[in-house]
A and B are shown apart, each in its own frame.
Chain A
Amino acid sequence: MALRARLVLCVIAIVALTTEAQLHAQSRSVELDLTGGYSGEEIRAAAVQARAFGQVDLRSQIQYFGEVAWGQRWSEEAMVGQPLFGADPMGSDVFGAAYPYRDKFQVIEAYAERTFRPRGALLGVRAGQYRTPFGIYSRSDYGYSGFIRPPLIRYDGYYGLSNNYMERGAMLTAGVPRLYVEASLGKPHDVGSSQRRNGTDGSVRVQGYHKSLIVGVSHARSEPYLPSYFAHGRQIFTGADARWAHPSGVQLRGEFFHGHSFTGVTTNGWYVDGVLHHVGMGPFTAVARVESLAYTAAAPFARSEDRVTLGTRLRLPGYLTAQLNYMHQHGDLPKIYDNAVDVTLTYSFRYR
Chain B
Amino acid sequence: MRLPLVIALWCALASSALGAELSGIAQSGGKPVQNAVVWLEAPGAPPLVQSKPVVLDQRNLAFTPRVLAVRVGTKVDFPNNDKIFHNVFSFRDGRKFDLGVYPVGTSKPIVFNQKGLSRIFCNIHPHMAAYIMAVDSPYFAVSDSQGVFAVSGVPAGSYTYHAWRPGGPEITGTVTVPANQGPARAPQFEVRWP
A interface residues (Cβ-Cβ under 8 A, vs B): 27, 29, 31, 53-55, 63, 113, 115, 117, 122, 124, 138, 140-141, 144-145, 173, 176-177, 207, 209, 212, 214, 243, 245-249, 251, 277-283, 285, 315, 319, 321, 348, 350, 352
Contacts and interface: CB of A to CB of B under 8 A. Distances in A.
B124 A140 contact: yes
A300 to B, nearest CB: 41
A117 B105 contact: yes
Contacts of B102: 209, 214, 245
Contacts of B99: 247
A348 B127 CA distance: 8
A23 B180 CA distance: 45
B127 A214 contact: no
A282 B90 CA distance: 9
A31 B89 contact: no
Contacts of B103: 177, 207, 209, 214
Contact of A27 (B60, B84, B91): B60
Contact of A212 (B60, B85, B100): B100
A247 B98 contact: yes
12 contacts: A27-B60, A53-B60, A113-B83, A124-B83, A214-B101, A214-B102, A245-B101, A247-B100, A277-B98, A279-B90, A319-B126, A350-B127
B124 A145 contact: yes
Interface residues of B, number: 27
Interface of B: 60-62, 83-85, 87, 89-92, 96-106, 123-127
Given A29-B62, A177-B103, 20 more contacts: A29-B60, A29-B61, A55-B60, A138-B84, A140-B124, A141-B85, A177-B105, A209-B102, A212-B100, A214-B102, A247-B97, A247-B98, A277-B87, A277-B123, A278-B98, A279-B89, A279-B90, A283-B91, A321-B126, A350-B127
B85 A140 contact: yes
B96 A279 contact: yes
B123 A285 contact: yes
A212 B60 CA distance: 23
Contacts of A245: 87, 100-102
Given A247-B98, A279-B89, A140 B60 contact: no
Contacts of B85: 138, 140-141, 243
Nearest to A126: B83
Contacts of B62: 29, 352
A348 B126 contact: yes
B91 A53 contact: no
A246 B100 contact: yes
Nearest to B60: A54
A138 B105 CA distance: 17
Contact of B126 (A54, A280, A315): A315
A177 B104 contact: yes
Nearest to A120: B105
Contacts of A315: 126
A244 to B, nearest CB: 9
Contacts of A27: 60
Nearest to B66: A352
B127 A31 contact: yes
B49 to A, nearest CB: 27
A289 B157 CA distance: 61
Nearest to B86: A140
Of all A-B residue pairs in the complex, the 6 with the closest CB atoms, nearest first, are A177-B105, A245-B100, A350-B127, A279-B91, A279-B96, A249-B98
Nearest to A175: B105
A140 B61 CA distance: 10
A53 B61 contact: yes
A53 B60 CA distance: 7
Contacts of A319: 126
Nearest to B101: A245
Contact of A173 (B83, B101, B123): B83
B89 A251 contact: no
A122 B106 CA distance: 11
B6 to A, nearest CB: 43
Contacts of B83: 113, 115, 124, 173
